Structure 1
Amino acid sequence: MDAPDPTTDTAMTGADPAEAAGRRLPWREAALIGLLALSLNLAGNGRASLWDRDEPRYAGCTREMRQSGDLINPTFNAEPRYHKPVLIYWLMLAGTALGGDNPFGARLVSSVAGMGVCLMTWALGRRLFGPKEGRWAALALATAPIMVAESKLATTDATLLVWFVGAQWAIWELSQKPSRLATAAFWSCMALSVLTKGPVGPALIVAASGLTWWFGGPTLGYRRLLAPLWPDASGLDEGLRFREAIARGGIAGLFSSAITAVELTARVAGRWLASNWGVLLFLAIALPWYVAIGIASEGAFFSVAWGYHVIKRATESIETHGGFPGYYVALTIPLLYPWSALLPAGIAGLWRRRKASMAAAFVLGWIVGPLLLLEVARTKIIHYYLPAYPACALVVGWLVVALSRSEVNLRRWTLGGTSLGLLAGLGVALTVGSLAGAVAFPGGLRWSCLAFSAVVGVGTFYAVERLRGGSAERAASALVGSWAAALLIFGAAFLPSVEPYRLPQKVAAALDEVEREEGAVPVLASFKPPGIVYSIGHPVPELLGRAGADLMARREGPLVSALLPVEVEALRQHPRLEVEERGTIRGFNIERFKNEELTLAVIRPKPGSISPDGGPAPSVARGRRVEGRGAEPTLVE
């Protein structure tokens, strides 16, 4: 059964006169929302090392860019890294300048970007629906696990989200009235998104725009952006003059016709340039670096970044990142919880009102368009759908206020029972799972899990009871408070407590110690997560087979590496090498999600042995491998 319809124009637009004061003086509210988001995003960032694989690569590229002074060509471990465009490294240079060359500084850009997205959602929600809707949307997004997680990672996704939300906001403003500021904002955001993650941002904008149009949403904003792209010769008199010149004939006619054609072309081109200054702004921002990297890399950047990481990811399932139909819908439920539980009722409510409300159709297109595009792509990763989550938060904000105004039980809404069931069921599962972790995990992990379980359990129980009683805003307040506390516990206590058990950090510390005390050169073998390179602080070569180990040891002197047992045995069988075991390193390998055991070994040439060719060893694993182009040989040949 549906609720009594609260969706008059007041409910949909927030035009309640009693809320006028909230529209005039919103800055205190904005400051509090920003402070909440930034606190959750920063909590524990300096006490938890970078998580393999992507974080160390981005942070390592930033460090090498600073050391080399080359702001065009990103490298990691002294090798070209053409995974993503350059803007994230420039921003992380600023972040590390402010926060230090450490995990806190590397993550600072994402943390600030995550806060910015929450504030933009707050402001856009006020424009779409009203002040209260904007407030609850921002609070929901600020306390969503996926949003906090991406804002705590030194990667591109939180930064890309700023540009995407900014572009959507500009489109909405242009649908209301012409605006040079909104036009400049749209094209600037598109250029910055292309400098952050290639064509992903524009593709998602097109997908969202298409579904917004299909749902009957505002299209005037798109027309104001696209209409100037077509040349316009209306009102010019060169056409008449051109026909008169042809009619005269002869050499004079031909000369006059040519002059008229040039003049017409120049005037049409000038009119086009004047009306498409936004496109020129886009090109002025994005094009220079792309030209520079194309020249510097001799085209290799485009074959890797666009050919492999865009086209191939869209058409093939690479790096075991496949997915089933409905992958993003299924993962949104836990990643956006507890707010994902309210989406079925909220989306159903907005769907019924999409023809009466442009804002409803706009938000629904924002949710469904990227979903359909990403479902078609073969490679699926959980954070790809992140650009749609601010729209999901807007749905939640609208639902909380609509429920509050209607003063009815959520069960009376379409799919309201489903929403309550998801909220209660997943809350119980999380509470029980955290209690199990408190029993199974050691030390500080145990107490973190216990505290997490308590706040989630109490907050969920109270919220479910309030929703059943028709007190939607009290329920939302309980969820905001409990999940803010839970995410603070997770970031400030749980993640730092994991550090003693992480294998890459143990390996890096052991290699660094032997290097400092004995001068042995750290090298990588089969176990080579990027976090080792970042933690050691300089490029680390890779062993290319036993022959490569022999040549490198003769050229560089003693080597130190963390080896699998089979690699230790393979090196022992080499006639010109001796292997000295220095102990065992045990820890948790996050890439394989299991505990592993490695042997710390020092590798030296046997005294008196002679290399077969007697020549110098070649340079090993530096400036040679381009990411995404094949694997290297291991020690086991």
Structure 2
Amino acid sequence: MSHSSDRVWKEAAPHPLGRLAAIVEHPQKSAPLLAFLALLWLLPGFFSLPPIDRDEARFAQATRQMMESGNLVDIRFQDAPRYKKPIGIYWLQALANGLSGGSPAEPSIWRYRLPSLAAALASLLLTARMGRLLFAPGIGFLAGVILAASPLFGIEARQATTDMVQLALILAATLALLRVYLAETAPAARMPGWGNALLFWSAIGAGLLIKGPVILFFVGLTALALALLERRRRWLLRLYPVPGILLVLALVAPWFIAIMAKSNGDFARQALGHDFLGKVVASQEGHGGLPGYYAATLFLGLWPFALPVGLALFRLARRRDEPPIRFCIAWLLPAWLVLELIPTKLPHYALPLYAGLALLTAYAITQNLASLSSRVPWHRALGWLNLTATILIGLGIAGIGLWLPTVLGQPIDVMAWPYALVIALAMLAGSVMTAYGRPQQGVVCLLVASQLASFMVFGRLLPNLDVLWPSRLVAEAVQAHADCPAPRLASTGYDEPSLVFLLGTETVMTEPAQAAAFLADDPACRFALISEENRADFDAGARKNAIATEILAQFDTFNYSKGAWLRLTLYDAAR
């Protein structure tokens, strides 16, 4: 594991960059710098984006009900059990709410996102640490910045779901595995002891409580692949599997036994049978895709850094006998192939592999491995395809502030034009420099393009496109017209979970006639939200219940969960 790339940077760098290189090499000083840089990508939109349907709103609402009821074992969304994922993420979100001064009565979604943000920062530091061990401090630091800049990582860091916490735990276990592997392949290295094994098995146990067996899939495949590549497996005993498994059981078994008793076994049937194994054998909820899905979505998920790692792919493959490259191959390739074969596909399923890709990307950049130059014609053809895809996606991202409001019939932000111009120019310059053998200069331009895009999309564009957030519009209108401290809503034709989160657990999803009866039960403190196709039935129900209604507001919105336009009308009883 050579540190020559870091020495080259320091020797060639001007004085200020030399000081920066010294900070990057220092394990304690580099961590806060990496966290600070990462927050430049991760904070825009973190506080201002409304709850996102559907998964985030469901997780947050289930946590809210846990805080309301005080039941730390069962998981429910309104009156229905929610047995898709284990309890861990709900505990973390409830803890984050308490530590940040929140309460069930205050639906501030950012409080529920805090575990994801903390896990995102931990994931970046773990990635940098692995890069430091595998390659060099500068490569680890750059890998952390690249991962922070990737769109898929940024999307998951802004959502109150399991995926970012699960990533941090997978990386913690992978780091422990890496330490044992490096000690085995470098005889002079000191074999890690019980503390490393404690990290490994604690991460496994916590991962099982966050997202079930997913952590076993990623970490187990990596360990198996390394054992096969090295043709020896006794080194894995340095993880002390017997006491480790006992520790995992001690962490997981108490809650698992409690929820199985509470649910009469339904948790295992739904979480393991339907949610986990069901996705392995068949496409669920319309989330299918052909093999190659994750390779195709990588261009957007890792944008714009699929370019340098793609251009360097064949040169990296020629270095597969080097232990650091071999470890990354064992980490990435088996899991990637299996994911491509599983029928149910979503981009974030491959998120645990993005840290390994970021490490290889940073290594390729510092070693000048990324370029279009190749003597093999089809290598060059794939390189040009990569460059073209990166530029086209980049132009789409640069112009999203122009074309997305136009498609949705909304006004264009006056700042969208300068953002589009600067992002496009930085992306083009970085892509061309990378493709023509100047990746260390190109990566600076690509990072500038990525950071500006993150601020523009998450910080300015999406939070201000009201048409995308029907639940926020409705909740604001209800609060503006309510004359009581706890107004209640019945909704017909619009049943997204974000509406329940913003307006409370008592929100009712019902039929038009029942919505009219709901108004009649308490005219002073109840509202009805009716979609356009249900208005006639609602009016008939109101006449039947002898209640006069008043239209308070109408909303023409786009339901992105269904990909459909929706007109909603808010009623109360006429006064």
Amino acid across the alignment from 1:510: A
Give 1:11 shift: 6.7
- Which structure's relative contact order is higher, taking Cα pairs within 8 Å and 6+ residues apart? 1
Alignment partner of 1:587 out of 552, 557, 569: 557
Alignment partner of 1:317 out of 273, 283, 302: 283
What does residue 424 of structure 2 align with?
Answer: 457
What does residue 305 of structure 1 align with?
Answer: 271
Deviations 1:573-611 (A, max 9, x none): 45733562514221121212232112223479xxxxxxx
In structure 2, distance between residues paired with 1:482 and 1:51:
25
Alignment partner of 1:211 out of 222, 225, 249: 225
Alignment partner of 1:164 out of 170, 175, 178: 170
What does residue 146 of structure 2 align with?
Answer: 140
Amino acid across the alignment from 1:10: S
Compare 565-574 and 133-142 and name the one that shifted more. Answer: 565-574
Is 1:473 the equivalent of 2:440? yes
Change in 2 beyond 3 A, CA 1:603/1:569: farther
Please say if residues 210 and 369 of structure 1, whose CA atoms lie closer than 8 Å, have aligned partners that are also in contact. no
What does residue 3 of structure 1 align with?
Answer: none
Give the secondary structure class of the aligned counterpart of 2:286: coil
Give the secondary structure class of the aligned counterpart of 1:10: coil
Please say if residues 492 and 515 of structure 2, whose CA atoms lie closer than 8 Å, have aligned partners that are also in contact. no
Please say if residues 308 and 439 of structure 2, whose CA atoms lie closer than 8 Å, have aligned partners that are also in contact. no
What does residue 498 of structure 1 align with?
Answer: 465
Matching of residues 477-488 of structure 1 within 5 Å: 477-488=444-455
Change in 2 beyond 3 A, CA 1:23/1:598: closer
What does residue 197 of structure 1 align with?
Answer: 211
Give the secondary structure class of the aligned counterpart of 1:523: strand
Is 1:562 the equivalent of 2:529? yes
Please say if residues 395 and 424 of structure 2, whose CA atoms lie closer than 8 Å, have aligned partners that are also in contact. yes
Give 1:143 shift: 0.8
Amino acid across the alignment from 1:587: T
Is 1:389 the equivalent of 2:390? no
Alignment partner of 1:411 out of 373, 377, 394: 373
What does residue 363 of structure 2 align with?
Answer: 398
Please say if residues 438 and 448 of structure 1, whose CA atoms lie closer than 8 Å, have aligned partners that are also in contact. no
Give 1:23 shift: 8.3
Compare 148-157 and 595-604 and name the one that shifted more. Answer: 595-604
Please say if residues 170 and 203 of structure 2, whose CA atoms lie closer than 8 Å, have aligned partners that are also in contact. yes
What does residue 65 of structure 1 align with?
Answer: 66
Is 1:541 the equivalent of 2:528? no
What does residue 86 of structure 2 align with?
Answer: 85
Amino acid across the alignment from 1:180: W
Give the secondary structure class of the aligned counterpart of 2:247: helix
Compare 589-598 and 19-28 and name the one that shifted more. Answer: 19-28
What does residue 611 of structure 1 align with?
Answer: none
Please say if residues 508 and 535 of structure 1, whose CA atoms lie closer than 8 Å, have aligned partners that are also in contact. yes
Give the secondary structure class of the aligned counterpart of 2:529: strand
In structure 1, distance between residues paired with 2:300 and 2:340:
18
Change in 2 beyond 3 A, CA 1:556/1:305: farther
In structure 1, distance between residues paired with 2:194 and 2:140:
25
Amino acid across the alignment from 2:356: A
Structure with bigger gyration radius:
1
Matching of residues 101-500 of structure 1 within 5 Å: 101=106, 102-175=108-181, 176=183, 177-216=191-230, 219=233, 221-225=235-239, 276-355=242-321, 357-403=322-368, 410-412=372-374, 415=379, 418-419=382-383, 421-423=385-387, 425-431=389-395, 434-435=398-399, 437-438=401-402, 441=405, 445-447=412-414, 449-467=416-434, 470-499=437-466
Give 1:567 shift: 2.1
In structure 2, distance between residues paired with 1:445 and 1:217:
60
Give the secondary structure class of the aligned counterpart of 2:567: strand
What does residue 624 of structure 1 align with?
Answer: none
Please say if residues 405 and 412 of structure 2, whose CA atoms lie closer than 8 Å, have aligned partners that are also in contact. yes
Change in 2 beyond 3 A, CA 1:518/1:385: closer
Please say if residues 323 and 380 of structure 1, whose CA atoms lie closer than 8 Å, have aligned partners that are also in contact. yes
What does residue 544 of structure 2 align with?
Answer: 576
Change in 2 beyond 3 A, CA 1:162/1:520: closer
In structure 2, distance between residues paired with 1:289 and 1:149:
30
Give the secondary structure class of the aligned counterpart of 2:569: strand
Amino acid across the alignment from 2:498: G
Give the secondary structure class of the aligned counterpart of 1:158: helix
Please say if residues 530 and 569 of structure 2, whose CA atoms lie closer than 8 Å, have aligned partners that are also in contact. yes
Amino acid across the alignment from 2:156: E
Please say if residues 427 and 446 of structure 2, whose CA atoms lie closer than 8 Å, have aligned partners that are also in contact. yes
Please say if residues 462 and 478 of structure 1, whose CA atoms lie closer than 8 Å, have aligned partners that are also in contact. yes
Please say if residues 401 and 461 of structure 2, whose CA atoms lie closer than 8 Å, have aligned partners that are also in contact. no
Give 1:117 shift: 0.7
Give 1:488 shift: 2.1
What does residue 188 of structure 2 align with?
Answer: none
Please say if residues 514 and 520 of structure 1, whose CA atoms lie closer than 8 Å, have aligned partners that are also in contact. no
What does residue 497 of structure 2 align with?
Answer: 530
How many residues align? The count is: 543
In structure 2, distance between residues paired with 1:18 and 1:573:
77
Amino acid across the alignment from 1:507: V
In structure 1, distance between residues paired with 2:34 and 2:252:
32
Change in 2 beyond 3 A, CA 1:439/1:337: closer
Gaps of 5+ in 2: 12-20, 184-190
Compare 191-200 and 289-298 and name the one that shifted more. Answer: 289-298
Compare 76-85 and 421-430 and name the one that shifted more. Answer: 421-430
In structure 2, distance between residues paired with 1:309 and 1:122:
33
Give the secondary structure class of the aligned counterpart of 1:379: coil
In structure 2, distance between residues paired with 1:195 and 1:171:
20
State the identity as a percent: 25
Compare 492-501 and 17-26 and name the one that shifted more. Answer: 17-26
Change in 2 beyond 3 A, CA 1:281/1:519: closer
In structure 2, distance between residues paired with 1:82 and 1:358:
41
Give 1:553 shift: 5.9
Is 1:10 the equivalent of 2:2? yes
Please say if residues 44 and 491 of structure 1, whose CA atoms lie closer than 8 Å, have aligned partners that are also in contact. yes
In structure 2, distance between residues paired with 1:278 and 1:16:
42
In structure 2, distance between residues paired with 1:474 and 1:111:
30
Compare 464-473 and 89-98 and name the one that shifted more. Answer: 464-473
What does residue 96 of structure 1 align with?
Answer: 97
- TM-score after normalising by structure 2: 0.85
In structure 2, distance between residues paired with 1:483 and 1:413:
31
Deviations 1:316-343 (A, max 9, x none): 2121111112111111111111111122
In structure 1, distance between residues paired with 2:555 and 2:277:
40
In structure 2, distance between residues paired with 1:214 and 1:345:
28
- TM-score after normalising by structure 1: 0.78
Deviations 1:413-452 (A, max 9, x none): 8746644652454324432564374266267753454344
Give the secondary structure class of the aligned counterpart of 2:199: helix
Amino acid across the alignment from 1:45: F
Gaps of 5+ in 1: 1-8, 230-275, 605-637
Change in 2 beyond 3 A, CA 1:502/1:187: same
Change in 2 beyond 3 A, CA 1:29/1:417: farther
In structure 1, distance between residues paired with 2:418 and 2:232:
46
Give the secondary structure class of the aligned counterpart of 1:163: helix
What does residue 620 of structure 1 align with?
Answer: none
